């Protein structure tokens, strides 16, 4: 089915009143969840499995001098020990590149790197086996700071050197821009490593089939990434490995990287070698140590503006601290650098983004993919600038924000007014001016507490853009009962995106969402649709779903028009029926139509496909159009700071996002609230700390995520629909978006409250109190 026909089909869909899209629809999997039905990997074990865990390095950088597994092998209950020598295929477990071994060969490069696997009858035997395993390490000099790691004499973590990407933006002439500026400010911003912390720990269950196939059921975001590497590690032909995604309790990025590949490979190896089912998972502390983290960032922003607030020049230097293996670091720096100015028009931009290998913890995809960090630095900078200029922070933003006709830092032209509408709505809903005055009044009269209001704006390039080929595949089939089965390699793990796909299909075929059945992602049953990342499922997957629906329509329409005696363009699919426009009595039920088609020997099985246009930009100057469209947003936060304890309470958040088209409003509501709360964690409590490369904040006692009592009492939200160019029905990426702005928005609110801009997260009590002492406003009873 050609692009033109699909577009026309979508136009028809868009033109009418929606029947299911945009209405309140329950998530397709909500019933199973509230009933506690078994659907996650460890709920599905059909027989007693071997248990597999890894022996891990306590050193951040060391040579492996020798390995002795003899004591391990004699532990009661230990069944197998696997080192790199026992890997039948290729020792490769990088999620995108091939630089990372599954099991270390002669060297370990981070704390927790896996050296060997112990397979046993139960957890206790495996734990004892791991404790008995002997590795002789020779510690090597390690490097943890990205600037240090770039020096010529720094320890070389990989052969080719520690710099894995240098992204540039060269727009206009920054020196001229700074010269022409009335005000120039320069600040450094820091965000630490953080952890996505999906509540369900990575887990994989693998078992051998009679024909030699290894089937693996697991918790993950990208079944084909897992499949490709497991197949490679086992050295098996493609048809002898099968990967199925079970219901997955949270992804947030880490489950699209190395850790799901690891557990799947561990379980598959154990199952393959021992011809028995095997289960591999982590303890919570282990998971936090080894899953890929949000990179730590150091960003220097230099900004020049006229005295009336027009941005003239912007220079950013961004250092992304990567772990020792690529994972996705070379791509995260790209997104961060491209968004380094925030959503503003700046005529002269110079940016250098460096992604650097270190012996810190593994880092990779984490919700936002560099955008939250870049926006923290850009948006606090804007507030500092506003203060310097004596301008209201909202006013400064409105003066410079991207509007139709604006050019971004990469000189991409913005055509839609999404940001303008978001800002207008956020200002209105948050009662910005009024509340600002109220809080300032409160601050004049209160002793112990100070309140503040802060705003931050975002733009977010959709969807993969420079990060890869942006396509998707969705399979549809219809059975005799008129039930539509939707199967895709795109995965659900909390975003609600697959419900959106079901909604789109239901809308296109005029049936109830309940009649769309989602089958599990199974590498044997679907073609590789690319990864479920970058918030692209609704946008790109949605187009593929609509393509599939259109293809079904192409089969059914001729039959219906014949039966109803009308033209094909007079057919209306609605309420489970197919009818003639303007003559509802001439109709046939969808189910009956399907029965007829099947009776005629037609195969109601289609594959929908969509690929977004490749994006182009110049690698030397960063100029061009790296993304096909942008999501926009504005977040206003109101806080109360306790001048005695330094504790920050978020009173209210007001979130407005341009979603392009709201396919599933109820899903969006939960997503926006939930992401705001996760972002609140980033702003106030989350930091993954290491001491000489050894994590010191593991487990929930170490790494603190928000609970119910940390949530604001109110998250007011509004959704703006400024149609995007490529997404299904104009939808824009949303899955990651709500976590991008809270750090900046809350930091700006705190600055308003205490009169000082903290430029490092988290804004934890001890850090705030230090600032209060310096300002002389710490509360003394």
Partner 1 sequence: MMVELKVNGRPYRVEVAENELLVDVLRYRLGFMGVKQGCGEGDCGLCLVLMNGRPVHSCLIPAWRADGSDIVTVEGIGSETSLHPVQRAFIDQGAVQCGFCIPAAVLIGKWLLDRGLAGDRETVRWAYRGLLCRCGSYLRFEEAVAQASRGG
Partner 2 sequence: MPRFSVSRPSSLREAVERLSSGEGVYPIAGGTALIPLIKKGLLEVRELVDLSSVRELGAIRREDGRVFVGGMVTHSELVDAAPWGMRNVLRDFLRNHTSPHVMNLATVGGSVASSTSSEDLLPVLLAADAEVVLAGRDGDHSVSLEDYLARRGSFRAEIVEGVRVRYVWDGWRFSFSKLSVSVRRMPAFCVVVGARVSDQTVEDCRVAVAFADGLRPGRLRDVEDAVRGKRVDAVRAADVEDAVRRSIRPAGDVHFPSEYRRKVTSRVTALMLSEVLGA
Q: Which of 12, 131, 581, 670 binds partner 1 (CB under 8 A)?
A: 670
With CB under 5 to 8 Å by kind, the binding choice for 12 among partner 1, partner 2, none is none
DSSP one-letter string for 235-264? T--GGGEEEEEPB-S--TTGGGSHHHHHHH
Per rule CB under 8 A, is residue 674 in the interface with partner 1?
yes
- Our CB check for partner 1 shows the closer of 46 and 445 to be 46
Q: Which of 250, 482, 576, 755 binds partner 1 (CB under 8 A)?
A: 250
- Distance from CA of residue 106 to its chain's centroid? 33
- Our CB check for partner 1 shows the closer of 236 and 684 to be 684
Give the integer Cα–Cα distance in Å for 194 and 214.
35
With CB under 5 to 8 Å by kind, the binding choice for 32 among partner 2, partner 1, none is partner 1
Region from 105-113, 249-257, 504-512, 754-762 binding partner 1, contact rule CB under 8 A: 249-257
Per rule CB under 8 A, is residue 161 in the interface with partner 1?
no
- Our CB check for partner 2 shows the closer of 15 and 713 to be 713
**Token pair for 189:** 């911003």
Per rule CB under 8 A, is residue 29 in the interface with partner 1?
yes
Per rule CB under 8 A, is residue 257 in the interface with partner 1?
no
Tell me the CA distances in angstroms from 715 to 327, 494, 498, 554, 670, one per residue in order.
34, 20, 25, 44, 10
CB atoms within 10 A of CB 725: 15
Give which of 342, 362, 340, 229 is closest to 294, Cα–Cα: 362
- Our CB check for partner 1 shows the closer of 649 and 669 to be 669
Beta strands 62-68 and 516-518, pairing class: unpaired
Region from 11-19, 346-354, 438-446, 673-681 binding partner 1, contact rule CB under 8 A: 673-681
Give the integer Cα–Cα distance in Å for 509 and 574.
7
CB-based contacts of 455, cutoff 8 Å, min separation 6: 393, 394, 397, 426, 430, 432, 634, 635, 636, 637, 745, 748
- Our CB check for partner 2 shows the closer of 583 and 770 to be 770
Q: Kindly provide the residue ranges of all beta strands, DSSP E only, lying in 236-339, ordered along the sequence.
A: 241-245, 278-281, 296-305, 311-321
Per rule CB under 8 A, is residue 706 in the interface with partner 1?
yes
With CB under 5 to 8 Å by kind, the binding choice for 674 among partner 2, partner 1, none is partner 1
Region from 34-42, 170-178, 564-572, 573-581 binding partner 1, contact rule CB under 8 A: 34-42
Give the integer Cα–Cα distance in Å for 378 and 167.
17
Region from 31-39, 568-576, 607-615, 688-696 binding partner 1, contact rule CB under 8 A: 31-39
Per rule CB under 8 A, is residue 669 in the interface with partner 1?
yes
C-alpha triplet 588, 548, 510: angle, nearest 5° = 30
Per rule CB under 8 A, is residue 388 in the interface with partner 1?
no
Give the integer Cα–Cα distance in Å for 168 and 162.
18
Q: Which of 94, 101, 129, 198 binds partner 1 (CB under 8 A)?
A: 198
Q: Which of 666, 689, 694, 777 binds partner 1 (CB under 8 A)?
A: 666
Least CB distance from residue 677 to partner 2, whole Å? 12
**Token pair for 676:** 């705001």
Give which of 598, 603, 606 is closest to 481, Cα–Cα: 598
Prior bond to 762 cis, omega within 30?
yes
**Interacting residues with partner 2 (CB under 8 A):** 123-124, 127, 131, 644-647, 685, 689, 696-697, 700-702, 704-707, 710, 764-766, 769, 779-781
Radius of gyration of the chain measured on its C-alpha atoms: 27
With CB under 5 to 8 Å by kind, the binding choice for 496 among partner 1, partner 2, none is partner 1
Summarize as ranges the residues that interact with partner 1 (CB under 8 A).
26-27, 29-40, 42-43, 45, 124, 196-201, 247-252, 283-284, 493-496, 666-667, 669-671, 673-678, 699-701, 705-709, 711, 715
């Amino acid at each position: 089915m050609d692009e033109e026909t699909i577009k026309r089909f979508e136009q028809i869909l868009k033109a009418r009143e929606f029947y299911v899209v945009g209405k309140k629809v329950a998530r397709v999997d909500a019933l199973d969840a509230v009933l506690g039905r078994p659907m996650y990997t460890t709920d599905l074990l059909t027989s007693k499995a071997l248990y597999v865990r890894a022996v891990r390095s306590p050193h951040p950088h060391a040579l492996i001098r020798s390995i002795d597994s003899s004591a391990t092998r004699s532990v009661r209950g230990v069944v197998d020990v696997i080192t790199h020598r026992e890997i039948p295929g290729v020792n490769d477990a990088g999620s995108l590149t091939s630089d990372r071994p599954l099991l270390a060969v002669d060297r370990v490069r981070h704390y927790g790197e896996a050296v060997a696997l112990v397979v046993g009858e139960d957890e206790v035997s495996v734990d004892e086996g791991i404790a008995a395993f002997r590795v002789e390490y020779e510690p090597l000099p390690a490097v943890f700071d990205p600037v240090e790691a770039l020096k010529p004499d720094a320890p070389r973590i990989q052969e080719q050197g520690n710099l894995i990407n240098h992204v540039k933006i060269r727009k206009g002439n920054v020196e001229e821009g700074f010269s022409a500026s009335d005000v120039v400010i320069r600040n450094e911003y820091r965000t630490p490593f953080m952890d996505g912390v999906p509540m369900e720990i990575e887990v994989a269950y693998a078992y051998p089939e009679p024909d030699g196939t290894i089937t693996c059921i697991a918790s993950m975001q990208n079944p084909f990434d897992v499949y490709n590497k497991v197949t490679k590690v086992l050295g098996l032909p493609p048809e002898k490995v099968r990967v199925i995604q079970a219901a997955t309790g949270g992804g947030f990025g880490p489950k699209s990287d190395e850790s799901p590949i690891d557990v799947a490979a561990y379980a598959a190896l154990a199952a393959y070698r021992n011809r028995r089912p095997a289960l591999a998972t982590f303890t919570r502390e282990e998971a936090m140590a080894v899953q890929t983290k949000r990179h730590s960032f150091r960003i220097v922003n230099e900004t020049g503006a006229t005295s009336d607030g027009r941005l003239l020049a912007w220079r950013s230097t961004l250092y992304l601290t990567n772990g020792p293996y690529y994972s996705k670091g070379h791509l995260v720096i790209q997104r961060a650098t491209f968004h380094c100015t925030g959503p503003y028009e700046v005529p002269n931009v110079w940016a250098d983004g460096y992604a650097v290998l270190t012996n810190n913890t593994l880092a990779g995809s984490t919700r936002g993919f560099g955008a939250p960090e870049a926006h923290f630095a850009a948006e606090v900078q804007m507030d500092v600038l506003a203060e310097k200029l004596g301008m209201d922070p909202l006013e400064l933003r409105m003066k410079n924000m991207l509007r139709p006709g604006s050019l971004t830092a990469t000189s991409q032209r913005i055509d839609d007014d999404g940001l303008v509408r978001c800002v207008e709505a956020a200002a209105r809903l948050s009662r910005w001016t009024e509340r600002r005055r109220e809080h300032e009044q409160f601050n004049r009269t209160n002793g112990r507490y100070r309140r503040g209001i802060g705003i931050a704006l975002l733009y977010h390039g959709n969807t993969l853009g420079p990060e890869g080929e942006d396509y998707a595949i969705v399979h549809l089939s219809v059975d005799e009962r008129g039930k539509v089965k939707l199967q895709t390699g795109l995965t659900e793990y909390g975003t609600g995106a697959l419900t959106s796909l079901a909604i789109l299909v239901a809308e296109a075929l005029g049936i109830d969402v309940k009649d769309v059945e989602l089958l599990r992602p199974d590498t044997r049953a679907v073609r590789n649709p690319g990864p479920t990342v970058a918030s692209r499922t609704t946008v790109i997957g949605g187009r593929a779903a609509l393509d599939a629906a259109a293809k079904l329509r192409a089969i059914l329409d001729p039959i219906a028009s014949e039966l109803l005696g009308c033209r094909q363009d007079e057919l209306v699919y609605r309420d489970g029926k197919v009818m003639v426009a303007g003559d509802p009595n001439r109709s046939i039920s969808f189910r009956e139509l399907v029965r007829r088609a099947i009776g005629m020997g037609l195969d109601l099985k289609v594959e929908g496909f969509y690929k977004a246009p490749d994006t182009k930009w110049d690698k030397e100057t960063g100029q061009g159009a790296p993304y096909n469209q942008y999501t926009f947003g504005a977040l206003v936060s109101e806080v109360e700071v306790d001048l005695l304890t330094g504790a920050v309470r978020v009173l209210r958040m007001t979130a407005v996002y341009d979603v392009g088209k709201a396919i599933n409003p109820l899903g969006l509501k939960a997503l926006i609230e939930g992401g705001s709360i996760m972002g609140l964690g980033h702003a106030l409590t989350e930091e993954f700390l290491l001491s000489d490369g050894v994590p010191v904040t593991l487990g929930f006692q170490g790494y603190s995520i928000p609970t119910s009592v940390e949530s604001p009492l109110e998250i007011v939200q509004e959704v703006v629909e400024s149609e995007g160019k490529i997404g299904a029905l104009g939808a824009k990426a949303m899955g990651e978006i709500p976590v991008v702005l809270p750090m900046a928005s809350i930091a700006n609110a705190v600055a308003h409250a205490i009169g000082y801009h903290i430029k490092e997260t988290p804004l934890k009590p001890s850090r705030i109190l230090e600032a209060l002492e310096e300002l002389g406003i710490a509360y003394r009873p």
